[in-house]
Chain A
Amino acid sequence: DAKTTQPTSMDCAEGRAANLPCNHSTISGNEYVYWYRQIHSQGPQYIIHGLKNNETNEMASLIITEDRKSSTLILPHATLRDTAVYYCIVTFRGQGGKLIFGQGTELSVKP
């Protein structure tokens, strides 16, 4: 079973920030938080990952709470092309381990 809980769906206005929450209260000390997204009819796409510190790349920012029991993926200026299902996954890094997907959050970016 997935170790994460996410809202089923969210809406966001184009150009605004999209904040996608994820709960992972049973995360262990060596497990990373990964985010993937899946645009309709495509394979999942890696977005970002983090362990303890907040992370930012060209796609998004990842904010992890100090107790590491939850995190938020931030798309700073959502576009229509960001409409997708977003998956938050907790897993060990460095072992190339399998990913356990939950249901994800279906993000709809509206004009």
Chain B
Amino acid sequence: DTGVSQDPRHKITKRGQNVTFRCDPISEHNRLYWYRQTLGQGPEFLTYFQNEAQLEKSRLLSDRFSAERPKGSFSTLEIQRTEQGDSAMYLCASSLAGQGASDCFFGQGTRLTVV
């Protein structure tokens, strides 16, 4: 396992379309995070899972956004009815919480452009 992987790396979509991103965390990590980063800003927390349970959602996560981690392994982030303001880098990160906790490791991100 070489780290957190995200797919696709780049996505261009038309306004109003739905998009889905996938994140595969480091295999033994039980926590998975989604962040969003716009140009010139630091990453902003969106939501996180511990195993399959979604434990926290930011106010940034509007009703058009939904995230799942059905089997406690990979996760998907879906954006419905995309808007130009959704254009950003979407970052996934994972960590191990609890005994022997690890630090947080990030994927390379998915860059979304809404045209």
Contacts and interface: CB of A to CB of B under 8 A. Distances in A.
A45 B104 contact: no
B31 A96 contact: yes
B83 to A, nearest CB: 23
Interface residues of A, number: 22
Interface in B18-51: 30-31, 33, 41-45, 48, 50
B91 A99 contact: no
A93 B95 CA distance: 11
Contacts, number: 56
A108 to B, nearest CB: 15
Nearest to A48: B103
23 contacts: A34-B103, A43-B4, A43-B91, A43-B106, A43-B107, A43-B109, A44-B93, A45-B106, A46-B103, A46-B104, A87-B42, A94-B97, A94-B98, A95-B101, A96-B30, A96-B95, A96-B98, A98-B33, A98-B56, A100-B45, A101-B42, A101-B44, A103-B42
